[in-house]
Amino acid sequence: MHLIDWIIVLSYFVFSAAIGIYFTKRAGKNIHEYFLSGRNLPWWLAGTSMVATTFAADTPLAVTELVAKNGIAGNWLWWNFIFGGMLTVFFFARLWRRAGILTDVEFVELRYSGKAAAFLRGFRSLYLGIFINCVIMGWVNLAMAAILEGMFGIPRESVMTYIGLALAITAAYSALSGMWGVVVTDAFQFVLAMVGTIVLAFVVLALPQVGGVSGLVEKLPEWSLKLTPVIESHGTAQAFGGALALSAAAFLAFVGVQWWASWYPGAEPGGGGYVAQRMMSAKDEKHSLFATLWFTIAHYCIRPWPWILVGLATLVLYPELSPADKKLGYVYAMRDYLPIGLKGMLVASFFAAYMSTIATQLNWGTSYVINDFYKRFVKPNAVEKRLVLIARATTITMMILSLVITGWLETISGAWAFIIEAGAGLGLVLILRWFWWRINAWSEIAAIITPLVAYAYVKYATTVEFPESLFYIVAVTTCSWMLVTFLTKPTDGETLKNFYRRVHPGGIGWKPIAELVPEVKRDSGYARVFLNWVAGIVLVYAMLFGVGKLILGQHLEGVMFLFVGFLAAGVIYRDLSKRGFEKLME
């Protein structure tokens, strides 16, 4: 790093802080401005903020590790979430905006009634808002620490000082500016992070050792360039080298079960967390839907290929890296091959990716603590100015907690699998609570507790491994919450009618309640919504593969995939034109 590099990095921090200061007054009006930007975000800003949040500092490293170990097909470990992402776009985005709530945890008492609902809301506000949130920020901090260690050779005890400084700056502008500052900074940080990753991909591909994309294709084994996993049979894994090889059951678990059955931060079935927060911040239902559609397309079609190309190049540049260090190939490529100026921009882009995620986690977690615990159970009559003040103090406190947890974490290996397994089966409740009146608070409580018990049994009393374990955990959890649902009383009738009046989700699952409120116009056209969902899935996969084929020089196949993608986009566009969208809302 030279002087110009450090100037670029410093300029990035100054600009990010300036955005936060600019929105301080606006955010201080009330908690709706502080947590939801006054429900006035345009679709492109809300959607870009979602994308920036999921672009953490560890994401390029994780993709590099997947590619280095299992080729391009290794990304199916997260590409399978496309099914659930599109479900959120067309089935849930408009409903979240229509609900008119501040957080997705508040939904609990909008939809359920009684002490069970109150307990569930209070528990989720603290469990998700503080514990899970700080653990997530802890592993993001850990990833950023690994980047700084690999880039500059800074020892762990010293690197945490730099992490603490970046975290403090992020917490400061998040505390001051609320959601407005977070989303506007997110947009700036996303552009910077994407430009940085694209520049790195071009620089690495231009190296003589790599020889461009054509040289990369020549130097790499065929298995590393496969876009889809191998369905494993006897001897298949050996025949395809290190390509991601899944049994038929494992592949079915990924593409047929995981996306709807398991809870995972940022990919919750039916939406939730910071994704729901952005949907509820949108100007109206139409902006909410388009924000989520833009997020899903950008998340899967635009972002991955620069990371994938660098990941493939590291196989040529650093063949000696051990499996545990393969993810650091991305950092080493930055360190070893970027010229003056570009190196500073890449370091700034990594801080941008890191800070966009942290800022969202801080604002989102604080919204749970303030709206769903403090305001609900401690001080129901607190004035807005006081709530904003306490929210700012909570943001700083949460920042400190995340830094403490970071010091306890040793590794994040296997954490994603644990979260998916420990929440397997909960996803179906999160989906059906919108479309079936009989779901109650006890259903959701049972769906939270049962997979934890089932996971412990499968993990320690059987030899079943992830992802096949999903079949067992989901089956047990589903039977459990269904039994609990019919053994406990339904949600109070007035609560159900009020929910239906506000959200009117429609469908056969609400028929008994709909008959009690005939004045409410029912939603219709679920066949068309289903068609849009299928078209959306085709759109994303076709664009993802089309771009990949073109990059890898397979032009005819690439054009064919893109053509299919444009056809799918045409189906969606025609249906979501102004007239079509209004009909969808009927």
> Rounded to whole angstroms, how far apart are CA atoms 9 and 347?
7
Which amino acid makes up residue 359? A
DSSP assignment, residue 490? P
Which amino acid makes up residue 274? Y
Other Cβ atoms less than 10 A from the Cβ of 357: the count is 28
Sign of CA dihedral 316, 320, 323, 325: negative
> Rounded to whole angstroms, how far apart are CA atoms 171 and 189?
15
Q: Which two tokens stand for residue 525?
A: 């056209």
Return the residue matching tokens 């799918």: 568
> Rounded to whole angstroms, how far apart are CA atoms 429 and 432?
5
| DSSP assignment of 385-427 | HHHHHHHHHHHHHHHHHHHHHHHH----TTHHHHHHHHTBTHH
Q: Which two tokens stand for residue 109?
A: 């008492």
What are the residues facing 230 on neighbouring strands? 245
Q: What are phi and psi of 507, to 5 degrees?
A: 90, 160
Which amino acid makes up residue 54? T
Please say whether the beta carbons of 333 and 314 come within 8 A.
yes
CATH superfamily of 3-230+265-411: Sodium/glucose cotransporter (1.20.1730.10)
CB burial of residue 320 (10 Å; 0-12, 13-18, 19+): exposed
Q: Which two tokens stand for residue 93?
A: 């985005």
Closest CA to 455 of 426, 412, 485: 426
CB burial of residue 461 (10 Å; 0-12, 13-18, 19+): exposed
CA distances from 386 to 29, 31, 380, 389, 404 (A): 10, 10, 12, 5, 27
Closest CA to 86 of 400, 470, 536, 490: 536
- Three-state DSSP class for 431? helix
- Three-state DSSP class for 61? helix
Please say whether the beta carbons of 458 and 464 come within 8 A.
yes
End-to-end Cα separation, the chain, in angstroms: 58
Sign of CA dihedral 455, 459, 462, 467: positive
CB hemisphere CA count around 178 (13 angstroms): 27
Q: What is the pLDDT along the chain (586 residues), one digit of tens a residue?
A: 789 988 988 998 888 888 888 888 887 778 888 888 888 999 999 999 999 888 877 788 888 888 988 889 888 888 888 999 999 999 999 999 999 999 999 999 999 999 999 999 999 999 888 888 888 888 788 888 888 888 788 776 778 788 888 888 888 888 888 888 889 988 988 888 889 899 999 999 999 999 999 999 999 988 888 888 877 654 444 444 555 667 777 778 878 888 888 887 777 888 888 889 999 999 999 999 999 999 999 999 988 999 999 999 999 999 888 887 888 889 899 889 988 888 888 888 888 888 888 888 898 899 999 999 999 999 999 888 889 999 999 999 988 888 887 777 655 445 566 777 888 889 999 999 999 999 999 999 999 999 999 999 998 888 888 778 889 999 999 999 999 999 999 999 999 999 999 998 888 899 999 999 988 876 667 888 899 999 999 999 999 999 999 999 999 999 999 999 999 999 998 888 755 555 554 4
With residue 197 as reference, give the H or E element that holds it.
Answer: helix 156-205
Q: Where are the domains of the chain?
A: 3-230+265-411
